[in-house]
Chain A
Amino acid sequence: MALFEARGVHKRFGHQVVLENIDLSFESGRLSGIMGPNGAGKTTCFNVLTGRYKPDRGRVLFDGEDITGLSPNAIACRGIARSFQTISLFDEYSALENVLIALPEVRERGFNMIEPLSGDGADADRAAAVLARVGLAGRERRRAGDLAYGERRALEIGVALAAAPRLLFLDEPTSGLGVEATARLSEMVRELKHDYSIVVIEHDMQFLFGLADAISVIHWGQVIARGTPDELRENKWVQRSNLGRP
């Protein structure tokens, strides 16, 4: 059984149908890709799957449990974490605190009003390990708002990783990155593949084709093709729609 499934998901804003009868399934231990041109509905799709929007129709299943219409925090607590295309951090907090606050161990103590949340101890070690994983070792004490763009991109993923998610959604992780930074990120995600089930939205096809085990192509709010990268290279739709080219 797939770890995560969307069945017949439908979403409209006013008269605009944004997602039409979307079926997706992501396997455990794999890296699944969602690709499509700008405005195809990829991010809306992510937003429906992670709880920001409720779908008008259809069901979303995580590990067999129906999570359709649950709040983002309820979905997050079940083990789904996401990053954002537009960087979304706690800018006044240090890089370490950004990760610290996202740790499940800290979340469980969220209503503790007495014990200090300290910058040393087991929690901080965990947070520092996460930062090291996304290449931010040595940057722990830097304010998130003062980090360079590429570092903020990495921290964006770090905050999602902090939750030790069973499924990790990455929304356009290469957005705004140059060639070199994209290559570094690619290496990092390849490493993460060993330990996490990941879903990536991208329109950088080289990035996705090099990493994904399976890809779904969304266009006009529908899934128009799916398969392995090799299968999709042969796909007439994909070739015609200008997607496969760098």
Chain B
Amino acid sequence: MAAVPTVASPWVPRGMALLLAVMATLPLWVASIGLYQYLGVEIAIWMIYGLGFNLLLGYSGLPSFGHGAFFGVGAYAFGLFQAWAFESLLLGMALAAVAAFVAGAVVGCFLSHRRGIYFALMTIAFGQVFWFVAIKWHTVTGGEDGLLNIPRPALELGAASVPLNSNVALFYFVLFVLAVVAVALWRLVHSPFGKVLQAIRQNEERARFVGYNVWLFKWAVFALSAAIAGLAGSLFSMAQQSAYPDVMSLHASGVIVMMTLIGGGFVSFWGPVIGVAVYFLARDVLGAVTETWLLWFGLVFVLAVLFRPEGIAGAWQEYVGSVPSAGRRNRGTEAPASHIER
């Protein structure tokens, strides 16, 4: 595999099928290990969020510290649609994604000529603007309390109507959305668009001089990533049956960055997926032992950034790479396509 320059990738790679299959069995055993069904919903939602976020951070090298804004926009848009228009699952989700896309597109206009630290600072500033608006615009957002009693509309499939009121039903719906997003993004990162994004991360100037409109690519990926965050936000508002400003705070925006980095978003498509799982398991397992779990998790994060910036996925790749096997004999001399693909 590694010897082929650009692997023509299958629609659903083995790792993805395995992940989804394992997750599909989650409701059967999650209670028996002392956890609970809602955790699966949360993890799957944040995996969607993380995969979309890593399109920016890992693939395009654009650090956004205000992505919670778009997650929040999606959550509010979904809630407001149900309250003001009518109850509809798919329309509400579509609207949430569109609203976040538009918000991302507008913000992207101000960001796309920036990079590195300036880009990061601007995303913080815009994130704070959205957060502030959510808190202050009482008549629409409900202020600090947020929107309450957001329904979980049933999934209408022609004649059949599947209620999503139980956490297990909602979990399977979210898992389905996760599968769709994962397949779509897997396609995207192997497409010319995805390759150009990675080229821009590696050398923005050269990308410009070989003829790519770098601004437009950054703008597009920012808006797209925002739309996916909004989609995840709409699911979150259903899960929580409320939408509140907390998810738009700088703290919440930082959490998704942390998850993506710990998991290894810079070296693997699966980085954010791993990071999300590790974060939530740490929260519930460590959290059961000590109230200061976030302190310990934060320390691990600091150590990871210092000694293993490639995250868990990077450590795994290194481990797998150090085990000699027939298929990998050429590793030393033959470069993999671009190591983020594995």
Contact = CB atoms under 8 A, between A and B. Distances in A.
A118 B193 contact: no
Interface in A108-131: 109-120, 124
Given A71-B208, A107-B210, A159-B206, A119 B337 contact: yes
B5 interface: yes
A230 interface: no
B226 interface: no
A69 to B, nearest CB: 15
Contacts of B293: none
Given A50-B209, A118-B6, A120-B8, A93 B338 contact: yes
Contacts of B198: 90, 92-93
Given A72-B209, A102-B210, A163-B211, A113 B194 contact: yes
Interface in A151-180: 159, 162-163
Contacts of B9: 116
A14 B335 CA distance: 45
A182 B167 CA distance: 69
Q: What band does the interface of chain A fall in when counting residues whose beta carbon is under 8 Å from B? A: 35 or more
A94 B335 CA distance: 7
A114 B188 CA distance: 6
Interface stretch (A74-82, A194-202, A219-227): A74-82
A80 to B, nearest CB: 9
B203 A101 contact: no
A117 B190 contact: yes
Contacts of B196: 101, 110
Contacts, number: 134
Given A91-B203, A94-B338, A117 B195 contact: yes
Contacts of A143: 335
Nearest to B221: A113
B306 to A, nearest CB: 22
Contact of B210 (A81, A114, A117, A119): A81
Give the dominant DSSP class at A's interface: loop
B202 A92 contact: yes
A119 B8 contact: yes
A72 B204 CA distance: 12
Given A100-B6, A112-B191, A141-B334, A93 B199 contact: yes
A231 interface: no
A111 B337 contact: no
B213 interface: yes
Interface string B1-34: 0011111110000000000000000000000000
Nearest to B220: A111
A113 B193 contact: yes
B297 interface: no
B8 A72 contact: no
A89 B203 contact: yes
A76 B210 contact: yes
Interface string B306-339: 0000000000000000000000000001110111
A84 B4 CA distance: 28
Max count, chain B CB within 10 A of own CB: residue among A50, A100, A117: A117
A73 B214 contact: yes
Contacts of A124: 5-6
B192 interface: yes
Given A110-B193, A141-B334, A94 B208 contact: no
Interface of B: 3-9, 187-188, 190-196, 198-199, 202-203, 205-214, 217, 220, 333-335, 337-340
30 contacts: A50-B209, A71-B213, A76-B208, A88-B205, A89-B203, A89-B206, A91-B202, A92-B340, A93-B198, A94-B337, A96-B6, A97-B338, A101-B199, A102-B210, A104-B211, A110-B193, A112-B193, A113-B188, A113-B191, A114-B191, A115-B192, A116-B187, A116-B190, A117-B6, A117-B191, A117-B194, A119-B4, A124-B6, A141-B4, A163-B210
Interface of A: 50, 71-73, 76-77, 81-82, 84, 88-94, 96-97, 100-102, 104, 106-107, 109-120, 124, 140-143, 146, 159, 162-163
